[in-house]
């Protein structure tokens, strides 16, 4: 049986091309652990024990972002933010 690994191991979990290979199942497992109030999650063959619920939530949020980036990359699109500034003198 493998020993539980720390939060730092999540960053190296299934690294592919410099990024994590995250699946929706991984995110769902973290959501289920948050809902149960648990601090340990099994992702693939590794059990990860988090120190706090906040660190579990942060890991879940990070995985969501990574999953969104992977989805955008495989779809051939890249999300970018474009902001427009409008100025008005206040005279109408």
pLDDT in tens, 29-65: 999 999 999 999 988 888 989 999 999 999 999 999 9
Residue 85 lies inside a defined structural domain of this protein: no
**Residue 79 confidence class, pLDDT cut points 50, 70, 90:** low
Q: How many CA atoms lie within 13 A of 31 on its CB side?
A: 9
Domain total for the chain?
Answer: 1
* DSSP 8-state symbol, 87: -
Give me the domain span that covers residue 13. Answer: 8-66
Whole-angstrom distance, CA of residue 25 vs CA of residue 28: 5
CA atoms in the 13 A half-sphere facing the CB of 27: 13
Indicate whether 20 belongs to any domain.
yes
Give the per-residue pLDDT at 77. 61
**Mean pLDDT over the full length of the chain:** 76
pLDDT at residue 92, as a whole number: 62
Please report whether residue 80 resides in a domain: no
Reported as half-sphere exposure (CB side, CA atoms, 13 A), residue 45 has a value of 3
Confidence of residue 11 (pLDDT cuts 50, 70, 90): very low
Question: Is 41 within a domain?
Answer: yes
- Measure the CA–CA gap between 87 and 55, rounded to whole angstroms: 41
């Amino acid at each position: 049986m493998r020993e539980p690994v720390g939060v730092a191991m999540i960053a190296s979990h299934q690294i592919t091309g410099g990024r994590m290979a995250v699946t929706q199942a991984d995110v769902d497992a973290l959501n289920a652990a948050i809902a149960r109030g648990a601090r340990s999650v099994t992702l693939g063959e590794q059990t990860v024990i988090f120190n706090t619920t906040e660190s579990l939530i942060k890991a879940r949020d990070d995985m969501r972002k990574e999953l969104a980036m992977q989805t955008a990359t495989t779809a051939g699109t890249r999300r970018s933010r474009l902001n427009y500034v409008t100025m008005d003198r206040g005279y109408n």
